[in-house]
Structure 1
């Protein structure tokens, strides 16, 4: 990159955005931090305040051939945070585009800009009598609704697949022009927001896990608040029961359809990471030995496998669903309990009259259950973010939002898809448990149903980010898991910024088609180069 080009572009961007809207490289430290340990060279950060400024920024980028990389809030923890895929990209921070531009409380659709967070949407709905659930994730209140949807994130509330809930997209293309869907172009903006597929080729998908435009608005369908939300927790002490438990989970989803939309399975180490500080003095090369895991599990009453889900239904349907869950999950589990807010409040009251240690344990359990229930009720919190700190020191003080990138946490997500079949899950578990310890990583495993056929498994590769050696080993672990998963058929549904080359090095026809489309829309490759779409080779042009 020629320094004169970036200097000239920055001068024009300052004229568009004002001095406060352009941060020099020296002020971009917060954007350069990432939990995966990667730091890109970032020449500047641009902070537009509206859609028109986004268009003008891209026009300047085209003029001076400067690559820009859009982020919504930059809180893409475990995948690269705000860092671009390639060096020398200017960050386009869309956090100031934080308006909710339209809400139809009758139809349950809402239009948000990139800077609208889970917490902001919850506050808006509460203030406007919006009797709907926020499509929450464990990433917490400060994370973007739009950014998560475009990355095809998911949750355990009734709208499980967050991109599936996106009904309409508006984006600024790399040349600064506005993209709208055909129904909106024809004057049907309202009906466009009520029907995902529109008419003609479905082009909105290009903006999901792509780099074809800067999405400045999405309309999403919200799930209404049900009459009751009842959480259920189950466990099995015997690891050999896993092959029986997995098909039971699938059968439960098939039987209960819309009332039970997702179920999580967690291994004992993943449960312990939520209940106990990391015992570094008992670890060997950073990994807890099997006997230590068994000792900790026994002391905390943690089973080999634990599960959690929620029933969203009327009282009558919820009663029937509990009977069905007992019938299906009962034979595969040692314990199945149902929890709601009333029972959590009761546990807190009981804790007040219990003796010291027992009271602390009961209150801690109630607080954990309360946090889980809030998420199930569509209220975001950062309880799940504590995981990122398990190997990285103390949590921020109460009242301060957790920010794993800022706070020095080492976290890389490996998130492969796994068929909901007992034998396949066992093969997958064996793969994770064999590879992770070789790189000083504890095999913490969650399996979340994304439908009644497929799990997405999230494996947090936690490491000491202050150590260059530990950082390198964690990244090597990711590569080893990816390579093994490719052979076994367990491939991730999303990639971190250092793993994009697994697609860009591909000669697959789908990759070539994506590259040809990219070259047509963005011939100078100024928008998020390297993000999911391979650069086209001249011989293919």
Structure 2
């Protein structure tokens, strides 16, 4: 092949070459799946003309060689359920989408050393079924999104899990990538039975370069697993106070000493209401945000609640769980404005939740379906993910700023947070109905103003989406690596600001 130096507009020749590799059934140029891939849960305009579906790294390698030769920009997804951050979309001028959903093998399982090696198409649900069929001694992660999302995709985008998998990316070791030139690179240990898969050894750590990046397409990870069938004790509480920082600070020492064995999750009243139902269109004006006084109808037993929290403690032989449980309950009971709701003890993990995607349907006039798909159902959702110091006054400042800006744009502020010892990860939802005129523009303006305001306060963000693509700037060192690894810039250009 002679070198072609500029991207072509006519895709007929590369299409014919891709068909020889994939077969006509795994190269889509029309149909419902292509149409749905051109939509996202915030009305982003996308114009994919082709979806490529390789079955293994070798087919992916050949597909990328062709794209690189013709200088065709491509974007890859695992399952495409990155709702609130862009879904399957990436850039208006991106014509080719590579879906890795057919690469859905669990390649290796080591129960003794507690890890599994898997491909991008493996979902949380499939992994859970696999571990259950193999005795259930190790637990599958429970995501904060759909159980039908990709394990690899969620981990490499630094999604938040539940319980011991709260810091989900820390359980992920990248093993293999495919570069833009089609080279298949092992970035882990070639021996799948090697205990060294679980550890870093001498020399630089390469794996982390491929989290939230476009330096290569990740095709294989090792996921470090946690023991299953543990006992989880949970304490539920609510706060009537406007500020939550003082309450969160009480848990800092527990979170430090308990590590992932103790977790805390806090939801504001609006976010909690989305678990109970949809916006009350019969009694409120949909063009306005729902006043706080109207929220009590969603939780009449707690009419004055502003915050809802749960403390989760996993059984650990290293310390007296019962004593710790009682100590935390006692501390909560004397905090001003705090009331205990109850507690429970259950086997952990207890299974996937049916309510993870409820917030996306808050502004729709129908309840979440059994097979939720915010893209298909016209839901509008933008997630903003600041990470801030775990200091009460700073946390309250972030909450106040968020509420003021969302109210000014007539959105309900949906706020959830996962406090850790040093930092608090906050998830802010801007939720609306995409079928309402002008809602996409208003939501994006709100998002940009809020992100600018939080950035001005010195806060950073642990995740970003397509909506941030043109406004991010990567570290110069990473940009230098991009020019080396992807000199023609065909892999998701500007993802995380990397060009």
TM over 0.5: yes
Match of 2:207 in 1: 204
Question: Partners of 2:9 and 2:257 in 1: how far apart?
Answer: 62
Question: Partners of 2:47 and 2:196 in 1: how far apart?
Answer: 40
2:329 matches 1:326: yes
Question: How far is the alpha carbon of 1:302 from its aligned partner?
Answer: 6.0
Question: Partners of 2:201 and 2:67 in 1: how far apart?
Answer: 31
Question: How far is the alpha carbon of 1:189 from its aligned partner?
Answer: 6.0
1:438-477 equivalences in 2 (<5 Å)? 438-449=408-419, 451-477=420-446
Is contact 2:175-2:189 (8 Å) kept?
Answer: no
2:345 matches 1:340: yes
Match of 2:135 in 1: 129
Question: How far is the alpha carbon of 1:430 from its aligned partner?
Answer: 0.9
Counterpart pick for 2:449 among 457, 470, 480: 480
Match of 1:411 in 2: 381
1:332-411 equivalences in 2 (<5 Å)? 332=335, 333-335=338-340, 337-341=342-346, 377=349, 379-397=351-369, 400-411=370-381
Is contact 1:173-1:179 (8 Å) kept?
Answer: yes
Question: How far is the alpha carbon of 1:471 from its aligned partner?
Answer: 1.1
2:160 matches 1:191: no
Match of 2:4 in 1: none
Is contact 2:173-2:221 (8 Å) kept?
Answer: yes
Aligned CA-pair RMSD: 2.1
Question: How far is the alpha carbon of 1:306 from its aligned partner?
Answer: 1.1
Gaps of 5+ in 2: 1-6
How many residue pairs match? The answer is 488
Counterpart pick for 1:520 among 484, 487, 497: 484
1:177-326 equivalences in 2 (<5 Å)? 177-181=183-187, 183-184=189-190, 190-195=194-199, 197-240=200-243, 242-260=244-262, 262-280=263-281, 281-283=283-285, 285-293=287-295, 298=300, 301=303, 303-314=305-316, 317-326=320-329
Question: How far is the alpha carbon of 1:300 from its aligned partner?
Answer: 5.3
Residue aligned with 2:40, SS: coil
Question: Partners of 1:158 and 1:457 in 2: how far apart?
Answer: 18
Is contact 1:79-1:496 (8 Å) kept?
Answer: yes
Question: How far is the alpha carbon of 1:116 from its aligned partner?
Answer: 0.3
Question: How far is the alpha carbon of 1:292 from its aligned partner?
Answer: 2.6
Match of 2:498 in 1: 534
Please say which of residues 83-92 and 405-414 is displaced more in the overlay: 83-92
Question: Partners of 1:188 and 1:136 in 2: how far apart?
Answer: 25
Question: Partners of 1:483 and 1:258 in 2: how far apart?
Answer: 32
The structure with the largest helix share of the pair is 1
Match of 1:538 in 2: none
The superposition leaves residues 189-208 of structure 1 with CA deviations (integer Å, 9 ceiling, x where unpaired) of: 6133221x233121111210
2:23 matches 1:18: yes
Residue aligned with 2:215, SS: coil
Question: How far is the alpha carbon of 1:239 from its aligned partner?
Answer: 2.4
Is contact 2:384-2:427 (8 Å) kept?
Answer: yes
The superposition leaves residues 234-256 of structure 1 with CA deviations (integer Å, 9 ceiling, x where unpaired) of: 1122325x242021122331343
Match of 2:69 in 1: 63
Is contact 1:43-1:89 (8 Å) kept?
Answer: yes
Is contact 2:174-2:188 (8 Å) kept?
Answer: no
Is contact 2:296-2:302 (8 Å) kept?
Answer: no
Gaps of 5+ in 1: 342-372, 536-541
2:180 matches 1:174: yes
Please say which of residues 114-123 and 494-503 is displaced more in the overlay: 494-503
Residue aligned with 1:384, SS: coil
2:89 matches 1:83: yes
Question: How far is the alpha carbon of 1:294 from its aligned partner?
Answer: 5.4
Question: How far is the alpha carbon of 1:293 from its aligned partner?
Answer: 3.5
Question: How far is the alpha carbon of 1:23 from its aligned partner?
Answer: 0.3
The superposition leaves residues 206-249 of structure 1 with CA deviations (integer Å, 9 ceiling, x where unpaired) of: 21000011111100101111531222211122325x24202112
Question: Partners of 1:182 and 1:297 in 2: how far apart?
Answer: 50
Question: How far is the alpha carbon of 1:468 from its aligned partner?
Answer: 3.9
Residue aligned with 2:220, SS: strand
Is contact 1:85-1:531 (8 Å) kept?
Answer: no
